[in-house]
């Protein structure tokens, strides 16, 4: 059996699945001030009467790291950045203890200017004085050559509790994002580690010696051990859980839009042949762009509890929220109240919704029922418009080869899947006003927890070969080898897959879920003075996000 747990803003969903389907599903209240208690509460209730030995896997999706970053409640972190020439690194400043230092590496990974040991020691002394215990070290082009980052750590070794090196967060180029990502990892490291150690200990005490997997923003999982150094990967796992929940039921070979309609926002994403579309670079959080792999998703300020206004005879929905809908005890009318007026809700105080819609109806000069319909219509159309804008944006993403420009894949969804809520009403109405085929995701109330439970372990590997310099390297994987002039692309691909397979197994993948694919596969002849002097090879491979194979049968059962 497996457990999926997804912490949401107001409640936490937990499911228990076995080969025959959904064994149990529960909701517990989310205590934002005590997520540990929330998670344990959920796990305890779902395992009531279950033999711990029957549970193979637990996947957790929490808001722990996201909240910690948004609220800025992280402990002091020291950042040492070595950029060399280019945009002033002070513009990328992440926090108070931020120190640009000498040293420069160029685009091919050649050392241009050395690290200044005296300077590093001096910065180390200042950081210690400032009470910093965790230090991020980031160099420009460290994804090509990490030696300067390693050198800085060597100089400071023993003086700080933990180091976070920029080249380990991603093989992608983008100095500013590398700085932000490294900072996030360092900043949430203590709270993440403490939290999951506590969960681990507590499970062990209950005799549940089960591996814990943590959901990431890309809709994949990683085990607790490998998450310790990279806790930033777990930010924004909530939307990922929902999207993976839809993935379970998505049609094969088709493009599908997924809407997760929550209280404050609607999150939207795209599935292509049952796999979520990923963001090419990474997530953006708290004003910082990062290299954290994530689903390509868009969040708009239209949800069930969005505030409705009538301005100059025109309806607006959101982007703000003022607590619950009136039907559930709130004080401002919302799209959920519109549903109540339309008689689509089973619970709540419908009278309240009616009285709330009175003002809207008179501002619009129509009946209360008509006003509710107009508001619901407006909210649905706004969601559709934004979704279509997202598709346009995805399709207009620049490409860099003639081949891609001519034959590049264009996303053309004809279907929409809705979860959150209440999904069936939204689905019906969206289908009525559009040309899409719209369906609620089966088990839409807990699809997010199901998504977490069934998500497979994912990761990515970037490999870079430069035969002119005789170097094969993947700094992110601590991999470096000397190569000869006859090194080939085929060899590079094989090595990249080997590295990827190892990484996946180490981070908790199941052998049978290693669906590997190439994301980048390029080879350039390097010509100097009309002679070919080498090859420049770039390979990027990933474990494709998706669901674990072992539970395919579950999905079929759940769809019934």
Binding test (CB under 8 A) with other proteins, winner from 61, 66, 104, 266: 104
Q: Are 500 and 482 in contact (CB under 8 A)?
A: no
**How many residues contact other proteins, by CB under 8 A?**
42
**Closest CB to other proteins among residues 30, 182:** 182
**Closest CB to other proteins among residues 31, 388:** 388
- What distance in Å separates the CA atoms of residue 331 and residue 96, rounded to the nearest whole number? 41
Question: Minimum distance from CB of 397 to other proteins (Å)?
Answer: 7
| Residues within window 210-239 making contact with other proteins, judged by CB under 8 A | none
- What distance in Å separates the CA atoms of residue 349 and residue 353, rounded to the nearest whole number? 7
How buried is 253 (Cβ within 10 angstroms: 0-12 exposed, 13-18 middle, 19+ buried)?
A: exposed
**Residue 107 in contact with other proteins, rule: CB under 8 A:** yes
Instruction: Identify the CA nearest to 299 among candidates 72, 5, 66.
Output: 66
Alpha carbon 313 to chain centroid, angstroms? 39
**Closest CB to other proteins among residues 226, 536:** 536
Q: Are 476 and 182 in contact (CB under 8 A)?
A: no
**Closest CB to other proteins among residues 122, 399:** 399
Question: Minimum distance from CB of 403 to other proteins (Å)?
Answer: 5
Instruction: Identify the CA nearest to 440 among candidates 421, 427, 455, 452.
Output: 427
Would you give the binding string for other proteins spanning residues 513-532, x where CB under 8 A is met?
Answer: ---------x-xxxx-xxxx
| Residues within window 46-85 making contact with other proteins, judged by CB under 8 A | 85
Q: Which helix (H) or strand (E) holds 129?
A: helix 117-129
Q: Which helix (H) or strand (E) holds 289?
A: strand 288-289
Binding test (CB under 8 A) with other proteins, winner from 112, 114, 197, 485: 112
**Closest CB to other proteins among residues 409, 524:** 524
**Closest CB to other proteins among residues 88, 560:** 88
Would you give the binding string for other proteins spanning residues 121-160, x where CB under 8 A is met?
Answer: -------------------xx-------------------
Question: Minimum distance from CB of 521 to other proteins (Å)?
Answer: 11
Residue 300 phi, psi dihedral angles, 5° rounding? -120, 155
Q: Are 306 and 315 in contact (CB under 8 A)?
A: no
* Cα dihedral value 265, 266, 269, 270, nearest 10: -170
Q: Which helix (H) or strand (E) holds 181?
A: helix 175-205
**Closest CB to other proteins among residues 141, 444:** 141
Question: Minimum distance from CB of 129 to other proteins (Å)?
Answer: 29
Question: Minimum distance from CB of 398 to other proteins (Å)?
Answer: 4
Cis peptide leading into 449, omega within 30 of 0? no
| Residues within window 80-99 making contact with other proteins, judged by CB under 8 A | 85-88, 91-92
**Span near other proteins by CB under 8 A; candidates 106-114, 163-171, 430-438, 476-484:** 106-114
Question: Minimum distance from CB of 231 to other proteins (Å)?
Answer: 23
Question: Minimum distance from CB of 90 to other proteins (Å)?
Answer: 10
Residue 530 phi, psi dihedral angles, 5° rounding? 65, 15
Would you give the binding string for other proteins spanning residues 395-424, x where CB under 8 A is met?
Answer: -xxxxxxxx-xx------------------
Could you give the angle at the alpha carbon of 501 between the alpha carbons of 540 and 218, nearest 5°? 60
DSSP state of 455: B
Question: Minimum distance from CB of 526 to other proteins (Å)?
Answer: 6
**Closest CB to other proteins among residues 524, 549:** 524
- CA dihedral for 164, 200, 547, 41, sign (positive or negative): negative
**Closest CB to other proteins among residues 201, 403:** 403
Number of helical (H) and strand (E) elements in the chain, helices listed first = 15, 27
Binding test (CB under 8 A) with other proteins, winner from 25, 106, 349, 510: 106
Q: Are 93 and 81 in contact (CB under 8 A)?
A: no
Question: Minimum distance from CB of 468 to other proteins (Å)?
Answer: 11
**Closest CB to other proteins among residues 224, 464:** 464
Strand order in the sheet with 98-101: 98-101, 77-82, 134-139, 162-165
**Span near other proteins by CB under 8 A; candidates 116-124, 302-310, 333-341, 390-398:** 390-398
Question: Minimum distance from CB of 395 to other proteins (Å)?
Answer: 9
* 269: Cα within 13 Å, side-chain hemisphere: 29
DSSP state of 547: B
Alpha carbon 130 to chain centroid, angstroms? 33
| Residues within window 167-186 making contact with other proteins, judged by CB under 8 A | 172-177
| Residues within window 251-310 making contact with other proteins, judged by CB under 8 A | 287, 289
**Residue 108 in contact with other proteins, rule: CB under 8 A:** yes
Helix then strand then coil, % of the chain, to nearest 5: 40, 30, 35
Using CB under 8 A as the criterion, which residues of the chain lie in contact with other proteins when the complex forms? Answer: 85-88, 91-92, 104, 106-108, 110, 112, 140-141, 172-177, 287, 289, 396-403, 405-406, 522, 524-527, 529-532, 536
């Amino acid at each position: 059996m497996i457990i999926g747990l997804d912490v949401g803003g107001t409640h936490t969903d937990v499911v228990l699945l076995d080969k025959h389907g959904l064994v149990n599903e529960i909701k517990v209240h989310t205590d934002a001030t005590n997520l540990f208690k929330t998670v344990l509460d959920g796990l305890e209730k779902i395992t009531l009467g279950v033999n711990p030995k029957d549970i193979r896997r637990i996947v957790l999706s929490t808001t722990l790291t996201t909240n910690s970053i948004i609220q800025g409640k992280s402990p002091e972190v020291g950042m040492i950045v070595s950029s060399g020439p280019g945009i002033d690194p002070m513009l990328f400043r992440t926090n108070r203890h931020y120190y640009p230092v000498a040293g420069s590496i160029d685009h091919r990974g050649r050392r241009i200017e050395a690290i200044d040991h005296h300077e590093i020691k001096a910065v180390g002394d200042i950081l210690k004085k400032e009470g910093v215990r965790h230090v991020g070290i980031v160099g420009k082009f460290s994804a090509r050559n990490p030696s300067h980052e390693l050198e800085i750590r060597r100089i400071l070794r023993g003086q700080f509790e933990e180091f976070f090196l920029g080249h380990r967060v991603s093989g992608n180029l983008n100095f500013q994002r590398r700085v932000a990502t490294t900072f996030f990892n360092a900043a949430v490291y203590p709270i993440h580690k403490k939290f999951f150690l506590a969960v681990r200990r507590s499970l062990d005490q209950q005799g549940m010696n089960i591996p814990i997997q943590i959901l990431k923003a890309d809709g994949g999982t990683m085990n607790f051990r490998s998450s310790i150094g990279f806790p930033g990967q777990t930010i924004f796992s909530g939307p990922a859980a929902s999207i993976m929940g839809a993935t379970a039921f998505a049609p094969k070979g088709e493009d599908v839009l997924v809407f997760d309609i929550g209280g404050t926002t609607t999150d939207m994403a795209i599935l292509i042949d049952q796999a979520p579309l990923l963001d090419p670079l990474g997530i953006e959080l708290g004003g910082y762009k990062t290299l954290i792999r994530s689903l390509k998703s868009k969040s708009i300020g239209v949800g069930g509890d969005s505030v409705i206004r009538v301005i100059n005879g025109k309806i607006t929905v959101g982007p703000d929220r003022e607590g619950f809908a009136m039907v559930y005890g709130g004080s401002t009318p919302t799209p959920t109240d519109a549903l109540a007026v339309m008689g689509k809700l089973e619970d709540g105080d419908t009278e309240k919704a009616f009285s709330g819609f009175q003002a809207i109806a008179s501002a619009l000069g129509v009946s209360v029922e008509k006003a509710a319909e107009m508001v619901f219509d407006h909210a649905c159309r706004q969601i559709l418009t934004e979704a279509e804008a997202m598709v346009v944006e995805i399709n207009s993403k620049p490409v860099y080869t003639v081949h891609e420009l001519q034959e590049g894949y264009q996303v053309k969804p004809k279907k929409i899947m809705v979860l959150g809520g209440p999904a069936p009403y939204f689905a019906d109405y969206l289908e009525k006003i559009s040309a899409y085929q719209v369906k609620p995701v089966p088990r839409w109330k807990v699809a997010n927890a199901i998504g977490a439970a069934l998500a497979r372990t994912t990761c990515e590997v970037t490999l870079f070969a430069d035969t002119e310099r005789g170097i094969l390297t993947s700094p992110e994987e601590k991999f470096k080898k000397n190569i000869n002039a006859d090194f080939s692309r085929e060899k590079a691909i094989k090595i990249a897959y080997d590295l990827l397979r190892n990484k996946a197994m180490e981070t908790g993948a199941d052998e049978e879920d290693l669906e590997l694919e190439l994301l980048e596969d390029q080879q350039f002849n390097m010509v100097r003075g009309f002679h070919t002097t080498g090859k420049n090879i770039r390979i990027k491979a990933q474990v494709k996000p998706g669901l674990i194979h072992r539970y395919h049968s579950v999905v079929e059962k759940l769809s019934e």
